[in-house]
Chains A and B, each alone.
Chain A
Amino acid sequence: MTLSATELCHGYDGDPVFDGVSLSVTPGEVVTIIGPSGVGKSTLLRLLALFDAPDDGTITVDGVDVWAASDQRRLEYRRRIGMVFQEASLFDASVRRNVEYGVRVRQSWADRLRTALSSLSRRGNGDSNVVEALETVGLHERADRDATSLSGGQAQRVAFARALAYEPDVLLLDEPTSDLDPRNTAVIEDAVLAATERDIGVVVATHDMHQAERIGDRVAVLLGNEIIEVGPTEPIFESPSDDRTRKFIDGELIY
Chain B
Amino acid sequence: MIGHALTAGYAVLMGAVTGSLLPLALEFPFEWHYIRSIIRVSLHVSLVAVTLSTLCSIPVALLIGFKEFRGKTLVTSLINTGMGFPSVVVGLVVLFAVSNEGPLGTFDLVFTPEAMIMSQFVLAAPVITGVTLAAVSSVDQNVRDAAFAMGGTRIDVALVTIKEARYGIATAVLAGFGRAISEVGSVLIVGGNITGPEGISQTRTLTTAIQLEARQGRFQTAMLLGAVLVVLVLLVNALVIRLGNGGGRYR
Contact = CB atoms under 8 A, between A and B. Distances in A.
A105 B145 contact: no
A130 to B, nearest CB: 12
Interface in A10-64: 49, 51
Interface stretch (A75-83, A182-190, A198-206): A75-83
Contacts of A157: none
Interface in B148-171: 148-153, 156, 160, 163-164
B152 A49 contact: no
A166 B164 contact: no
Contacts of A51: 145, 148-149
Contacts of B67: none
Interface residues of A, number: 27
Interface stretch (A88-96, A211-219, A245-253): A88-96
**What's the interface size class on B, roughly?**
10 to 19
A85 interface: yes
B89 interface: no
B150 A85 contact: no
B151 A105 contact: yes
Contacts of A85: 142, 145-146, 149
B147 interface: yes
A159 B146 contact: yes
B22 to A, nearest CB: 54
A199 B75 CA distance: 50
Interface in B125-158: 140, 142-143, 145-153, 156
Given A94-B251, A101-B150, A105-B156, A87 B164 contact: no
B107 interface: no
Nearest to B142: A89
Contact of B143 (A78, A82, A83, A91): A91
Nearest to B151: A79
Nearest to A81: B149
A105 B163 contact: no
B250 interface: yes
B151 A89 contact: no
B141 to A, nearest CB: 9
Given A93-B251, A120-B250, A83 B149 contact: yes
A119 interface: yes
Nearest to A168: B151
A153 interface: no
Contacts of A87: 142
A83 B143 CA distance: 12
A106 interface: yes
A109 to B, nearest CB: 10
Interface string B180-217: 00000000000000000000000000000000000000
A97 B251 contact: yes
B147 A101 contact: yes
B151 A166 contact: yes
Nearest to B144: A89
Contacts of A162: 146, 150
Contacts of A163: 149-150
Contacts of A101: 147, 150, 152
Contact of A166 (B147, B150, B163): B150
Contact of B152 (A89, A93, A97, A105): A105
A176 interface: no
B140 A105 contact: no
Given A94-B251, A105-B151, A105-B156, A89 B146 contact: yes
Given A91-B160, A92-B164, A49 B149 contact: yes
A167 B150 CA distance: 11
B94 to A, nearest CB: 37
Contacts of B164: 91-92
A38 to B, nearest CB: 18
Contacts of B142: 85, 87, 89
A163 B152 CA distance: 12
Contacts of B147: 91, 101, 105
12 contacts: A49-B149, A78-B151, A89-B142, A91-B146, A91-B160, A91-B163, A91-B251, A97-B251, A101-B147, A101-B152, A105-B153, A159-B146
Interface of B: 140, 142-143, 145-153, 156, 160, 163-164, 250-251
Which 4 pairs, one residue from A and one from B, show the smallest C-beta to C-beta distance? Answer: A93-B251, A89-B142, A102-B150, A83-B149
